Structure 1
Amino acid sequence: MNCRGAALVLVMWLIALLTTTIAAFALTARVEHLQGRTMGDMAAGQELAHAGVDYALSRMQGTPTQPAWRADGRPYRWQFDGHAITLRVIDESGKVDLNQADPVLLQGLLRALGVEQARAQQLSSAIQDWRDADDLKQPSGGAESGDYAAAGFPYGAKNARFDSIGELQRVMGMDAALYAQLAPHITVFGGARPNARFAQAPVLTAMGLDAALLLAQREREDAAAAIGDTAGGAMAAAGTGTYNVDSRVTLVGDRQAVTRAVVRLNPEGVAGAPYTVLRWEQGAAAK
């Protein structure tokens, strides 16, 4: 009888162990299935976001039936393959160029974003010290290699041009929050002074212009174009050919597939791709 009882307990333990093993396997299989589906959805979303970049660039030239899009950062909506795609295009000439902007413009942009005067002056000087070829600090402050060493940084001032806006994160005095504010308004593909036709409000303010007045003027030009004055609208919309495109595809839930690209349109008639990629980033973001 005792042997039978022990055998029964052993069988029950084996059944419990098998049940647990099967449940764990089923859970693992479900998790892997969901991960695979999520990865598949994101991969498809990235392809749609890439298509959004191509479509946005195709809309930078107007047609008799469709006016050209404005490259000033306003949102445009596009439905493609059952998905909603939000597109923004900004002409790089409407941004502050880190390599060419003078101290007044750099400080003006920082002040327009709410940075207090002393910090704006220090950061503006540090940006100049980063990009200039000498080891002399700016009269108004700044940071050269000795300052970076004293602060414990494993690198010094570059003493050369910015290759990307991401380098700004390494400049002494910069932090992640301020960089996130600056990033939409800075470039390394612009000119000495931003093009006011495409600049957003903080850049217009940094230039000493009345941002509210100029933005209202753009709205009036859009209204004129909507009622048939296409000549004025085309002149206002025509860009320089180097654009920052932000393409966002809404996926299931609160996820978005995001592609951000800086591209330069190639002249018509040139064999090959319609544009040259200067910077390309893609990933996911919350809605």
Structure 2
Amino acid sequence: LEISITDERGKLDINAADEPTLYNLFANSGVEPEDAELMAAAVLDWRDEDEMERVNGAEVDTYLAAGFQVGPANRPFLMIEELLQVMGMSYELFRRIEPGITVFSRSGMPDIAYAPPEALMAIEDITLEEARNFVQERNAQDPESMMGLALPNGQVIMAQGRGLTYSIRSKATMPNGVWEQLEVTLRLGGGGDRNLPYRVMRWREGFSH
């Protein structure tokens, strides 16, 4: 049985990230620079309220011309899976960046004290290997001694309080290799309802045959 708890502050909120940060996320995750520019602009056009197409972006006419049945929602993302409807997003890329993105942190940059390697891809001039090494070193230290630990670009971990939104992942694997997994995102405090200790924000189950 494997259980992990992740503070959503360590992830990149796709509703809050600006265009350069989204570009870094895509480019550092293996997307060609020109395509990363197009995708970053398409994400912004998806979540903004207007139908004015930005440079390199995509609004409804561009979607329809490309064979899509509908255009962008012109509202914030309600769930990260909506990224799969954005022009240029492949399932393979989504699966690659999925552990590092959220719609719950309301932060345009991941908190490096809690960020997984996939979220650190949103930071300029960092490789996946560097991100993995940083996370491994950070996780090997206790919370007090990791303060001041720095990324290759010099950004250091600062003291932080506790977050309010967490993702819990539980995976059970049988001796024959068959597994079942549950991922739940919870917000402490019930989202404003004082009678509830928490509120379920996201629930996803998966299994293998």
TM over 0.5: yes
Residue 126 of structure 1 and its aligned partner are, at CA, apart by 0.4
Between the aligned partners of 2:68 and 2:172, the Cα distance in structure 1 is 39
User: Does 2:101 match 1:186?
Assistant: yes
Between the aligned partners of 1:213 and 1:262, the Cα distance in structure 2 is 25
1:125 to 23, 41, 50: 41
Partner of 1:71: none
1:221 to 99, 118, 142: 142
Unaligned runs of 5+ in 1: 1-84, 226-234
Partner of 1:138: 54
1:275 to 162, 182, 198: 198
Aligned residues: 189
Q: Identify, as 1 or 2, the structure richer in helix.
A: 1
Alpha-carbon contact 2:29-2:121 (below 8 Å) kept: no
Between the aligned partners of 1:213 and 1:183, the Cα distance in structure 2 is 19
Unaligned runs of 5+ in 2: 147-157
Residue 168 of structure 1 and its aligned partner are, at CA, apart by 0.4
Partner of 2:79: 164
Between the aligned partners of 2:61 and 2:30, the Cα distance in structure 1 is 29
Identity within the alignment, %: 33
Cα-Cα RMSD: 2.5
Between the aligned partners of 1:238 and 1:171, the Cα distance in structure 2 is 34
Look up the equivalent residue of 1:253 and give its one-letter code. N
Partner of 1:251: 174
User: Does 2:50 match 1:174?
Assistant: no
Look at both structures and tell me which one has the larger radius of gyration over its CA atoms: 1
Residue 221 of structure 1 aligns to a residue whose secondary structure is coil
User: Does 2:76 match 1:154?
Assistant: no
Residue 275 of structure 1 and its aligned partner are, at CA, apart by 2.0
Between the aligned partners of 1:220 and 1:166, the Cα distance in structure 2 is 33
Between the aligned partners of 2:160 and 2:178, the Cα distance in structure 1 is 32
Between the aligned partners of 1:88 and 1:125, the Cα distance in structure 2 is 33
Residue 112 of structure 1 and its aligned partner are, at CA, apart by 1.9
Alpha-carbon contact 1:145-1:157 (below 8 Å) kept: yes
Residue 152 of structure 1 and its aligned partner are, at CA, apart by 1.4
Residue 125 of structure 1 and its aligned partner are, at CA, apart by 0.5
Between the aligned partners of 2:121 and 2:204, the Cα distance in structure 1 is 29
Q: Within 5 Å, which residues of 2 pair with 1:1-287?
A: 85-139=1-55, 141-190=56-105, 191-208=107-124, 211=131, 212-213=133-134, 215-221=136-142, 239-266=162-189, 270-272=194-196, 274-285=197-208
Residue 127 of structure 1 and its aligned partner are, at CA, apart by 0.3
Cα deviation 1:247-268 (Å, max 9, x = unaligned): 101235211121111111228x
Between the aligned partners of 1:224 and 1:106, the Cα distance in structure 2 is 31
Cα deviation 1:157-194 (Å, max 9, x = unaligned): 11111011011000011111111112111110011222
